[in-house]
Structure 1
Amino acid sequence: MPNDKRRTPASLRSARWFAPDDLRSFGHRSRLMQLGYSEEDFRDRPVIGVLNTWSELNSCHAHFRERAQDVKRGVAQAGGFAVELPA
Structure 2
Amino acid sequence: MDVRPFTPVPDQRYLAYNLYGVSNHYGTMEGGHYTAYCKNTTYNKWYKFDDHEVSEISVNDVRSGAAYILFYAAVEYKVPGRNS
Report the TM range for the smaller structure's normalisation.
Answer: under 0.3
More helix by share: 1
- Whichever of the two has the greater Rg, that structure is 2
More strand by share: 2
Comparing both chains, which one has the higher relative contact order based on Cα–Cα distances under 8 Å and sequence gaps of 6 or more? 2
TM superposition score normalised by structure 2: 0.23
